[in-house]
Structures are given as structure tokens and as C-alpha cells.
């Protein structure tokens, strides 16, 4: 009612709702500084929607119109930023390209089973990271019947139903990493809709410790890869990789500023046992990355992601 003073619990709820809305809307204003607080927030940004739900339930419990109105603020901001990801999948188009991206884990005890899960999804392209010498022949032999074209450089690889050409390694090593570290490749996939320069990458890992998030090497790798993609002469570009960051993470800005991300689906892929974030990404230009989802769990600590690419 007009002039009614808010109680202590109502004021606290309004303050938390306002803070949540502010973090959602202005997450780029949260400084990274030494502990990378901004990147850490952005890694789990969609989960602030759960905070809004809890606040809504509390506002109902308090029976406070002012608190309910306050809760609408973070709910509205979240819907603006992430609501489109919940929209129904419009369905495949005739010329769509289906791709699978998976970090198969270098300690995967069942590479044959992992390869079968990926192949059974029927994609046109399969991109893998953490390929090691003992498992590479297993993936190659399992994929061979349906994917006659493949390219491997270092620990990353691509299997394709369509011919490949111009394959080369891409150097995304941040300063201080040995020359033997090879986690990027570029090849041209000759699809029925035309050639697509396709990159497969595995950016350096991010760790969370007592001193915050250690993402400087990941950020440096993203910057190097972004420069290569910016100079790519092919009109159509596709990036598949374990980028060790979400599409909201400012550390991946050199890539997300140049490539489009998925329009439908959250597809949380890590950790596989209880996925809370998606660090396995599919990006493209000028093609549209439509719906993105996950496949059943394999012997990896990541879930495979599957996406549909609509050419332009």
C-alpha cells in the first residue's frame, strides 16, 4: 500500500533482487583484476536465473507486493539475455550441417564406445580433443566406414563425411608453453553448400583456486585464435572446440566478437557427472548455429555437444 514501510526481510530481498539484476545486466563491469572475478561470474551467469526463482518464492512467502515487483527486475533481465535459448527447436533445414564436438579425455578407458556414441548421432562432422597415440587408431577405425575424410594435428582431430583440403596446424600456444604443445588445426570442408574453413581447437585449461580463476593462458590462446580467424580468407568459418570458457566469458571475446553462437539450447557439457556449464563450443560465420544439445555420457569428463549449422 502507498506509504507502507518495508520490513527488514523485504528490504533484504529487494536489495538481493537489485544486485542480481545488476550482475546480469552489467556483468562486464565486474573487474577481473587478479582473481578474474568477472570471468568466474560469467562462467555461471545463466544460473542467476535460479536466484531469481528463489527470490520469487520468498516474495510469495512474505506476501509483499513491493518484493514481488522487485523480483520481476532480475527475471526480466534474465529473460532478455537467455530466454531465446529456451525457445523450441525450429527443426532441421534441407542444407543444414550437423556437427559434434567432444573432448574425449586423454584417460578415456573406452574410446571405442565413445566413438560409437558420436557416430550413432549421425553428424556430418566430428571434432575431438585430447586425442592420444594409444586411442587414436581406435577412433580412426571406428569412424572409418562413415567418415572417410579426417585430419589430425597434435591432440585435436576432425572426421568428415565430406572431402577436406588445406589442412594445417594452427599455433595457439600462449607464451611459456613448449613447441610440442599442438592443440589447433584448420581445414576446409567441401560441403554440398560450399567450402567451410573449419577450425578445431583446445584452449588452455582454467583452474579455480584460493587465488581465484587462473585464465590468463586461456585468454592468450583465445586472442591468438581470434587473430587467425580474423584473417581467414574463406567466407564461411566454423569453430569447434573445448574452449574452456562459456560464450558469456569475456576471455572468449576475441572469438565471440567474430563468430555467432548457438541460438537455441544451453547444452551444459561440463563436468559430465553433473554438468553446470558449457565450455565445449560451436561457433560460425555467416552461417547460423541453430539448436545445440548434448549426447549421452561417454568415458570422458565432458559431455559431447551436437549442433546444427544453417548455411547462408
Q: Quote the Cα angle for 122-196-267, to 5°.
A: 50
For 23, 86, 126, 159, 309, the CA distances from 266, given in Å and listed in that order, are 19, 8, 20, 25, 16
Q: If you ran DSSP here, which 8-state letter would residue 45 be given?
A: G
Give the position of cell 599455433.
Answer: 171
Q: What is the pLDDT of residue 199?
A: 98
CB 150 within 8 A of CB 198: no
Q: What string of pLDDT tens digits covers the 312 residues of the chain?
A: 444 566 788 889 999 999 999 999 999 999 887 678 898 899 999 999 999 999 999 989 888 888 888 899 999 999 999 999 999 887 778 889 999 999 999 999 999 999 999 999 999 999 999 999 999 999 999 999 999 999 999 999 999 999 999 999 999 999 888 888 999 999 999 999 999 999 999 999 987 765 667 888 999 999 999 999 999 999 999 999 999 999 999 999 999 999 999 999 999 999 999 999 999 999 999 999 999 999 999 999 999 999 999 998
- Rounded Cα distance between 215 and 159, Å, is 30
- Rounded Cα distance between 40 and 19, Å, is 17
Q: What is the pLDDT of residue 90?
A: 78
CB 45 within 8 A of CB 74: no
Backbone angles phi, psi at 185, to 5 degrees: -145, 160
Angle, in degrees to the nearest 10, between helices 136-143 and 111-120: 30
* Strand-by-strand arrangement of the 164-169 sheet: 164-169, 184-191, 194-202, 237-242, 280-285
Q: Tally Cβ neighbours within 10 Å of residue 31.
A: 10
E strand map for the chain: 97-103, 125-129, 149-153, 156-160, 164-169, 184-191, 194-202, 207-209, 212-214, 237-242, 280-285, 288-294, 305-310
**Quick one: cell of 112?**
571405442
Helices (H) and strands (E) in the chain, counts: 8, 13
**Quick one: cell of 225?**
585464435
Longest dimension (CA), the chain: 75
What's the CATH code, domain 97-310? 3.60.10.10
**Quick one: cell of 89?**
527447436
- Rounded Cα distance between 84 and 265, Å, is 8
- Rounded Cα distance between 279 and 270, Å, is 7
What dihedral angle (degrees, nearest 10) is formed by the CA atoms of 128, 133, 135, 137?
A: 90
Amino acid at each position: 500500500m502507498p506509504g507502507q514501510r518495508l520490513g527488514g526481510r523485504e528490504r533484504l530481498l529487494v536489495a538481493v533482487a537489485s544486485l542480481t539484476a545488476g550482475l546480469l545486466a552489467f556483468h562486464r563491469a565486474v573487474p577481473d583484476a587478479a582473481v578474474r572475478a568477472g570471468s568466474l561470474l560469467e562462467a555461471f551467469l545463466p544460473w542467476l536465473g535460479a536466484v531469481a526463482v528463489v527470490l520469487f518464492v520468498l516474495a510469495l512467502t512474505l506476501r509483499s507486493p513491493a518484493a514481488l515487483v522487485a523480483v520481476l527486475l532480475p527475471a526480466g533481465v534474465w529473460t532478455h539475455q537467455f530466454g531465446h535459448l529456451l525457445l523450441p527447436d525450429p527443426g532441421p533445414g534441407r542444407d543444414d550441417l550437423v556437427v559434434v564436438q567432444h573432448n574425449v579425455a586423454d584417460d578415456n578407458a573406452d574410446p571405442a564406445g565413445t566413438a560409437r556414441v558420436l557416430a550413432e548421432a549421425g553428424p556430418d562432422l566430428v571434432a575431438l580433443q585430447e586425442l592420444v597415440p594409444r586411442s587414436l587408431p581406435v577412433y580412426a577405425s571406428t569412424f572409418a566406414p562413415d567418415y572417410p575424410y579426417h585430419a589430425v594435428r597434435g591432440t585435436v582431430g576432425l572426421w568428415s563425411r565430406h572431402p577436406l583440403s588445406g589442412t594445417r596446424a594452427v599455433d595457439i600456444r600462449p607464451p611459456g608453453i613448449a613447441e610440442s604443445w599442438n592443440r589447433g588445426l584448420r581445414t576446409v570442408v567441401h560441403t554440398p553448400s560450399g567450402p567451410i574453413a573449419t577450425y578445431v581447437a583446445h584452449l588452455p585449461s582454467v583452474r579455480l583456486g584460493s587465488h581465484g580463476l587462473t585464465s590468463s593462458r586461456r585468454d592468450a590462446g583465445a586472442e591468438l585464435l581470434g587473430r587467425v580467424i580474423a584473417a581467414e580468407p574463406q567466407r564461411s568459418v566454423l569453430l569447434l572446440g573445448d574452449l574452456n570458457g562459456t560464450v558469456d566469458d569475456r576471455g572468449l571475446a576475441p572469438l565471440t566478437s567474430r563468430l555467432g553462437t548457438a541460438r537455441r539450447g544451453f547444452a551444459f557439457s561440463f563436468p559430465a557427472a553433473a554438468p553446470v556449464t558449457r565450455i565445449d563450443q560451436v561457433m560460425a560465420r555467416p552461417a547460423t548455429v541453430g539448436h545445440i544439445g548434448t549426447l549421452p555420457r561417454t568415458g570422458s569428463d565432458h559431455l559431447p555437444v551436437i549442433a546444427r549449422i544453417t548455411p547462408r
